[in-house]
Structure 1
Amino acid sequence: MHFNTRHILITGASGGIGTALAHALAEKGANLLLHGRKESALATLASECLQKGAAQVLTCAADLSTADGRATLLSTVAEDFTPLDTLINNAGTSCFQLFDQQSPDQIERLLTVNIHAPILLTQALLPRLLNNQTQPPVILNIGSAFGAIGFPGYSTYCASKAALRLFSEALSREYADTPLRVQYLAPPCDPHVT
């Protein structure tokens, strides 16, 4: 794959995995749209990516747990990053807490960020990806080893990552006869870093 012609959106780019992905893709000369919640962290990351060789770096600060935040990101793609050919759904959150001690708001936010947002973003961006005439489109969903095992204290997180894993598998099968490739990556899990 020639990354120097790719236009890649990374959600949650200013987190640990997102930053590593952004740096690695920048070194390959990719065009990047970096999403996160904090503009200052994104600005720093964008500068690093340009120094590492990224062809272009744009940023979008938005909270994906809200409809307005998701709309902001989609608007940025539509206005400033139209050649999008790769979507990396990396944004996520976790909470180490016994299930009966989690508040409904904590559960709802975790499920929204980890599963609702990637599914809704994928659906919204799917036509643009499928209509891309220059590159075979790719969707990469970043999961966790906790998406395959149930881990005490992470029941809601495990459920969200298992849902993302099965969503990826089903979507891959739905579009098996098209150029679109849907992949799920589950890095080994450190309970303190997600």
Structure 2
Amino acid sequence: MAKRALITGATAGIGKAFARALARQGWNLVIVSRDAVRMDALASELRQQHGIAVDVVAADLTTSAGLATATAAVRDAARPIDLLVNNAGASIAQWFGDTSITDEDWHLDLLVRAPMHLMDAALKTMSARTDVNTNDKGAILNVASVAAFALRGTYSAHKAWLVNLSHWAHFRYKDRGVHVMALCPGFARTEFHQRGKMDTSGIPDWMWLDADRLVADALKDLARKKAISVPSLRYKLLAFLSRNMPSFIVAAVARRGR
């Protein structure tokens, strides 16, 4: 029987790359997004190209109702989820202190509260399964960022929280048959920065990653049961330096811009 993956933020960018990559591998999918029109188009494309089942869940994860809808799909014992990809995300073009606190609440709900609820549901549901290999009950892939290792406002803080929780859960739940991995990509060529109205003109070409390539690398790391995945050698090096350089140097680099 084909496995099922639930992907949030699946209609664009890294989420869409995950949907296409898993569909090519024969996974059935549950795709979650606010944009029902784009979800329907993607679902139709993947069904036709790969002959898989694709369920569409229209939900705004920053609302209690939308989060409850997505969480219910994760908990559905009749149609179990084998892989949760917590990918939905966005950023704010201004720095904390200059932003509206209402926008920051929305940001916190999307990047912290939503993945926390979905991860909680997946851990409890997957670890309780008795119909599968006890060493492979399911997996959770949380899309964080290399910004988690830097000092870059609330986006960085939220992603650091997600990496920390994922890293802990990796060790806590591996003996219960559930693998948890944090994915920490760098700049990727997606709609992310345009939607956030962020100026990317100062980012050199060598820092940009291809979304399909980074997803392929992430899935390899997931199969290897890594705790943290940093796609590409250049970002592995940057992540290492960010985590080991003196904090005043990391802060000085962060002051140069987004």
TM-score for both structures, normalised by structure 1: 0.89
Q: Which residue of 2 aligns with 1:180?
A: 178
Q: How does 1:42-191 map to 2 (within 5 A)?
A: 42-78=39-75, 82-132=79-129, 133-134=131-132, 136=136, 137-151=138-152, 155-190=153-188
Please give the alpha-carbon distance, in whole angstroms, between the structure 1 residues aligned to 2:59 and 2:110. 12
Q: How far apart are 1:78 and its partner, in Å?
A: 4.8
Q: Indicate if the aligned counterparts of 2:75 and 2:125 stay in contact, CA closer than 8 A.
A: no
Q: How far apart are 1:84 and its partner, in Å?
A: 1.1
Q: Which has the higher contact order (CA 8 A, sep 6+)?
A: 1
Gaps of 5+ in 1: none
Q: Indicate if the aligned counterparts of 2:111 and 2:159 stay in contact, CA closer than 8 A.
A: yes
Q: Indicate if the aligned counterparts of 1:168 and 1:182 stay in contact, CA closer than 8 A.
A: yes
Q: Indicate if the aligned counterparts of 1:142 and 1:186 stay in contact, CA closer than 8 A.
A: yes
Gaps of 5+ in 2: 197-258
SS at match of 1:161: helix
Q: Indicate if the aligned counterparts of 2:86 and 2:115 stay in contact, CA closer than 8 A.
A: yes
Residues 1:7 and 1:176: Cα distance change in structure 2 (over 3 Å): same
After superposition, the CA RMSD in angstroms is 2.0
TM-score for both structures, normalised by structure 2: 0.68
Residues 1:100 and 1:77: Cα distance change in structure 2 (over 3 Å): closer
Please give the alpha-carbon distance, in whole angstroms, between the structure 2 residues aligned to 1:140 and 1:180. 11
Q: Which runs of 4+ in 1 moved over 6 A?
A: none
Q: How far apart are 1:106 and its partner, in Å?
A: 0.9
Tell me how many residue pairs correspond in the alignment: 188
Q: Indicate if the aligned counterparts of 1:23 and 1:52 stay in contact, CA closer than 8 A.
A: no
2:14 aligned to which of 17, 38, 42: 17
Whichever residue aligns with residue 169 of structure 2, its letter is L
Q: Indicate if the aligned counterparts of 2:147 and 2:159 stay in contact, CA closer than 8 A.
A: yes
Residues 1:164 and 1:79: Cα distance change in structure 2 (over 3 Å): closer
Q: How far apart are 1:77 and its partner, in Å?
A: 4.3
Please give the alpha-carbon distance, in whole angstroms, between the structure 2 residues aligned to 1:123 and 1:40. 29
SS at match of 1:167: helix
Please give the alpha-carbon distance, in whole angstroms, between the structure 2 residues aligned to 1:61 and 1:129. 23
